[in-house]
Structure 1
Amino acid sequence: MFRAAILSIVICFAAPVFAQEGAMTAQRIAEIVLDIDPDAQLTPGGIELTLEDIPVLIVMAPGADRMRAMVPIASVEDVSAEEMSRMMQANFDTALDARYAVAQGRVWGVFIHPLSPLEREQLLSGLVQTVNLARTYGTLYSGGANVFNGGDSAEIFQDLFEDLLGRGQDI
């Protein structure tokens, strides 16, 4: 039973196809970010930019072939057990490639990826998903429009949809 459930989850999820590009570098990420936010600041620790009025920090460790985009969301002290559980559910089915994380007393939206195989479109998608985690925190807890089947969030979304339908006019 469990094996069949896992198999159905894997089959339902298809990764998008991205054009093949050369190896991503810290310099190339900086160029991409400056194209989307000319006011972005290059710092010794990475790049700071703003998307949709949300601050984003990108850090890179070329020696470890890793990068991370992070968005601060809330103080951990302000997070209820129910909200923490909801974030973990979202990490399974609606956060997509971004994730909710906790570090240094804060809740963060993060996108973590190996640096060299990262494609431009993947970077941009990861940034959008990370910003969406911050924008939808407390409501939909979503990195985007997709829901990974087999999780708990689809039912929550369906409940919200039915609630909104109930508020509409009878036709």
Structure 2
Amino acid sequence: MKPEEIAGTLTEIFGSADLQTLASGSWQIDTPRFRLLVLLSEDETWLRVLLPIVPLQAAQPFLEQFLAANFDTTQAVRYALHEGVIWGVYHHHSHTLVSADLQSAIAQLISLHSSGLNEVFNSLIETRIRQIVKAAKQQGQSLPATMQNLERFYAEGLLGEINQTSADREEVLAAWRRQLERLWQEVESNPNE
């Protein structure tokens, strides 16, 4: 894609009001939700599209999940770290790039931005629930016994919020029940894993 084709695609996606040309071969799209940067290399051979996702400080507990997402789920875009910020990044050779691929990459980046920490948090939670299931199975517990232990932990205040109402507690326990039921048959209890 030539610079004018890139600018045309960006205008098609965002309109001219949100699009700013910063310098030759670099554009910025400012919306109320995000700021997207599109940068063409000086020799115009590579295009990079960047979107800040979350500050590193907030992302620190989830770095493993971000890297796993790069391997498993992010498709053509990747998470990257630069100057204390987790970014969504797309790189492509500009001579083979077509408008549809650029549009798709931008949509993927916006999706990463929209989900923020949600996807990586959910991945971490699923890993932890799998660990709970595995430990319960290794101790010979059944699903109902595991659920009963969790209910007891909430009733005794070992889990949950201090000011949690009984309705809130029931909602959380229902979520636990759904996740445990969903994962119970999938998780093996082999202690050597």
| Both structures adopt the same fold (TM-score exceeding 0.5) | yes
Counterpart position of 1:166: 178
Structure 1 length normalisation: TM-score? 0.65
Post-superposition offset of 1:137 = 2.2
1:70-120 Cα deviation digits (max 9, x unpaired): 11122223322x311110010011111111000122110111111110011
1:79 partner SS: helix
Alignment partner of 2:67 out of 77, 85, 88: 88
Q: Does 1:34 align with 2:11?
A: yes
Query: Aligned partners of 2:176 and 2:38: how far apart in 1?
Result: 37
Structure 2 length normalisation: TM-score? 0.58
Structure 1 residues 71 and 165: alpha-carbon distance in aligned structure 2, compared to 1, 3 A threshold: farther
Unpaired runs of 5+ in structure 1? 1-23, 142-152
CA contact under 8 A between 2:21 and 2:27: conserved in structure 1?
A: yes
Query: Aligned partners of 1:56 and 1:138: how far apart in 2?
Result: 18
- The percent identity for this pair of structures is 23
CA contact under 8 A between 1:67 and 1:112: conserved in structure 2?
A: yes
Q: Of the two structures, which has the highest relative contact order with CA contacts closer than 8 Å and spacing of 6 or more?
A: 1
1:83 partner SS: helix
Counterpart position of 1:4: none
Greater per-residue helix proportion: 2
Query: Aligned partners of 1:51 and 1:124: how far apart in 2?
Result: 17
1:117 partner SS: coil
Q: Does 1:47 align with 2:27?
A: yes
Unpaired runs of 5+ in structure 2? 130-174, 180-193
Q: Determine which structure has more spread, i.e. the larger CA radius of gyration.
A: 2
CA contact under 8 A between 1:51 and 1:131: conserved in structure 2?
A: no
CA RMSD after TM alignment:
2.7
CA contact under 8 A between 1:25 and 1:62: conserved in structure 2?
A: no
Structure 1 residues 29 and 64: alpha-carbon distance in aligned structure 2, compared to 1, 3 A threshold: closer
Q: Does 1:124 align with 2:103?
A: yes
